[in-house]
Structures are given as structure tokens and as C-alpha cells.
Amino acid sequence: MKKELEYFIIDDAFGGNQEWFTNVVMNMGGCAAATACDCCIYLALRKGMEGLYPYPVHQLTKKDYITFSQKMKPYIRPRIGGVKKLRWFIEGFEKYIREECGGNIGQKNITINMKAFSGSRDYEEARKMVLSQIDAGYPVPYLLLRHKKPEIYKDYIWHWFLLVGYEDTGDNLLVKTATYGESDTFSFRELWDTGCEEKGGMVQLGTGYF
């Protein structure tokens, strides 16, 4: 079984790219803000939440994306040690929605629910969460801190990115990532089993009403 979200393209890039950022701090440490930006664009395009993205969502440009990243920066700001806690991402993203969108994200009385899913949880639980999120049409914000195989995950260590697809082969779950304007495919079991004490985790997204 294979499932991929209908992701978005900006200037031939697969989603946004942190390396576009001209601000030095954001270029080096803006992965969490970039992940939130990509979530906003995807949800605006595919879930009718146009209020999340303050620029023409059907005419995505690199210039607007860079400007948008600066708008997101104060809410999910780069810091010493990075945005290394799931709650920092959630709190910043919720504050962006509250202050910049006024709670109005494009549909009457609708909001986004976010829940931390710790990297210390069991693989089978994590696997079910990924399947349910992507089946429901939501990308999965993912934080990887350390990993026992840095040679494989060198571009993903201490990094926020998105899971945007999967292929369930029965004995393995392959996941598709989106970051740096590109995609990769990894074994989810290996990705989740970091072998390190410092765990990251995922953020579960859902639709709520108020």
C-alpha cells in the first residue's frame, strides 16, 4: 500500500527550502520555522485553510516564501541548541495562528489541534500515528535529534522536517520526507529507532472547532 500527499512545488523545489533564507540565523537554524511554513502552505492549499498563508497560495513564489519565513521567525525562533522540544514548536505555531491569523484560518469556527508525540514511544504506536495522519491528509512535522547512524541521516540530525508519504510493504514502512526543497525515502523503523537518549518525536495535526 502506497500513499503520498499532494504536496506543492515552489520554483521546481519540492516544498520550501531553508537554504533560500538570506537571514544568516534562519539559514543556519530555521528548520522548525520552515517546517511550520510548509505546513501552512499545504493546509491552505489542500485543507481550505487559506488564512494560514498571507500570500497568493495558488501562485507560490520563492520571494513570498522567504518573506513568510521572516513572519514566522518570531514565533518559532532559532535559538542556541535549536527548537529541540516538541512543545516549543507547538506553542510557537499556535501563537502564530492566534496573533497573525486572529484564529480565522479560512473556515468558519475551525482551528488546528496539535499534539506532541514523543520519540520515546513504541514503534508500533508511532507507525499507526504516521499511517493515520497521512491517510487523513495531514503532513507530519518530525523532529530528529541524534541518531546512531549519522552517516545515513547526516542532513536530518538536529533537524525539523515533514513526513508526506508512506509505502507499507508489510514487513517495513517506508516514509517520504520533505525538507530543503527535496524528498528522501527512509525505513521508518530505522528512523524511529535512534539508539540515542535524546529523543525528538512528531507533532500530530488535526482539525478542531470552537
CB-CB contact of 117 with 129 (8 Å) = yes
Q: Which residues of 37-71 are buried (b: 16+ CB within 10 A; e: fewer)?
A: bbbbbbbbbebebbbbbeeebeebeeebbbebbee
| % of the chain residues with pLDDT over 70 | 95
Q: Give the tens place of pLDDT for each residue, 111-159.
A: 789 999 999 999 999 999 999 999 999 999 999 999 999 999 999 999 9
| Domains of the chain listed by start with CATH number | 2-209 (3.90.70)
- Please report the pLDDT score of residue 78 as a whole number: 83
- Please report the pLDDT score of residue 210 as a whole number: 47
- Rounded Cα distance, 30 and 210, in Å: 31
Task: Choose between 9 and 29: higher pLDDT.
Answer: 9
- Please report the pLDDT score of residue 141 as a whole number: 98
Q: Give the tens place of pLDDT for each residue, 178-201.
A: 999 999 999 999 999 999 999 999
In this predicted structure, the answer to whether residue 106 has a pLDDT above a threshold of 80 is no
C-alpha cell at 204: 500530530
Q: What is the mean pLDDT of the chain?
A: 93
The whole-model pTM stands at 0.95
- Rounded Cα distance, 62 and 17, in Å: 9
- Rounded Cα distance, 158 and 196, in Å: 12
CB-CB contact of 5 with 42 (8 Å) = yes
Q: Give the tens place of pLDDT for each residue, 18-61.
A: 999 988 888 888 999 999 999 999 999 999 899 999 999 999 99
- Please report the pLDDT score of residue 22 as a whole number: 86
In this predicted structure, the answer to whether residue 69 has a pLDDT above a threshold of 70 is yes
C-alpha cell at 111: 482551528
In this predicted structure, the answer to whether residue 209 has a pLDDT above a threshold of 60 is no
- Please report the pLDDT score of residue 104 as a whole number: 66
Count Cβ atoms below 10 Å from residue 98 Cβ, excluding itself.
12
- Please report the pLDDT score of residue 103 as a whole number: 64
- Rounded Cα distance, 185 and 176, in Å: 5
